[in-house]
Amino acid sequence: MPTLGQNQYGKAETRIVKVTREGTTHHLEDLKVSVALSGDMDEVHYSGSNATVLTTDATKNTVFAFAKEYGIGSPERFGTLLARHFTESQPTLTRARIRMESYAWERIATPGEGEHSFLRDGRGVRTAQITHDREEGWEALSGLTALTVLNSTDSEFHGFLKDRYTTLPETRDRVLATDVTALWRHRWSGPQDATPDWNASHAAARGHLLDAFARTYSYSLQQTLFAMGSRVIDHRPEIDEIRLSLPNKHHFLADLTPFGMENETADGAVYFAADRPYGLIEATVLREGATARIPVDATNL
């Protein structure tokens, strides 16, 4: 006889923009929030009884109401408020997972006319996931995605395995580019612990990822990934684990020989930026003694 396995439900991708006004100076917070709830849900699946089900419309309304009543501050803080509310206010809901994307906006200077104009920041998207389970406790994951970076030199790739299908030439100087997706787990057991400065922690981790990418002389994207993750672990004691997903945004020298032109010269070169297919490098970097808990496919969710 079939039995019910793991299940969850909720409202996905609720978009919320909060404007805070301080006179003529305005502040903008822009989030996408997805709520997933689990608990006593057997009967709704077996018989269609909705007696234990909080409507997904109510979860959406809660997101908007909490943004107004309690403010956002950071995705992690806001996710904690929501997760605690759902698991503590409804006896049938034992687990809540809140996933968020935060979109940054830059202020457009308008001297003498009030500070209320903004430009969408294209330097990546901040992410967070807060999970509360009554039995297993709390988990806080922070991260980022769509952070595009490029080194125009200081990257090599050679000495790799070769077989009858290998056509890629070795190189001692190449363009290395990637779209960084990263997710890191905090050493935090929930609101009963001292609350981290989520914004400062995220800014510092992002800075270390960028610094390691720029400073690492790369012989492989795997080496660069490990250097990036290691720098975060070494410099941020509140972080125990980081998962990185780095697509290799290939740049190939354009063939200009049909035009009687030499491409790669002392004054530069022209490259073809390939869209796909692309190499995909993924790995987890852990603090010594820590246990990996971020799912291997988490950065692709």
pLDDT digits (tens, 9 = 90+) for 110-145: 877 778 999 999 889 999 999 999 999 999 999 999
Query: Distance between CA 29 and CA 31 in Å, rounded?
Result: 7
Residue ranges of the annotated binding site for O2 are 56, 248
- Whether residue 24 has pLDDT greater than 70: yes
Beta-carbon count within 10 A of 199 CB: 14
The mean pLDDT value for 85-109 works out to 96
List the catalytic residues: 11, 56, 250
Please determine whether the domains at 7-135 and 143-301 fall in the same fold group of CATH.
yes
The mean pLDDT value for 14-36 works out to 96
Question: Are 271 and 279 spatial neighbours (Cβ–Cβ below 8 Å)?
Answer: no
Question: Are 125 and 103 spatial neighbours (Cβ–Cβ below 8 Å)?
Answer: yes
Query: Distance between CA 183 and CA 113 in Å, rounded?
Result: 40
The architecture in CATH of the region 7-135 reads Roll (3.10)
Query: Distance between CA 10 and CA 12 in Å, rounded?
Result: 6
Task: Report residue 50 as tokens.
Answer: 């909705």
Taking only the tens place, the pLDDT of each residue in 254-300 is: 999 999 999 988 899 999 999 999 999 999 999 999 999 999 988 76
Task: Report residue 172 as tokens.
Answer: 């001692």
Q: Which residues contact 44 (CB under 8 A, 6 or more apart)?
A: 50, 51, 52, 53
* pTM of this structure: 0.95
- Angle of helix 221-235 relative to helix 198-215, nearest 10 degrees? 140
Domains of the chain by residue range = 7-135, 143-301
- CATH number for 143-301 (one of 3.10.20.30, 3.10.270.10, 3.30.930.10, 3.90.1200.10): it is 3.10.270.10
Residue ranges of the annotated binding site for 5-hydroxyisourate are 56-57, 157, 174, 222, 248
Residue ranges of the annotated binding site are 56-57, 157, 174, 222, 248
- Whether residue 31 has pLDDT greater than 90: yes
Taking only the tens place, the pLDDT of each residue in 176-233 is: 999 999 999 999 999 998 899 999 999 999 999 999 999 999 999 999 999 999 999 9
Query: Distance between CA 262 and CA 205 in Å, rounded?
Result: 42
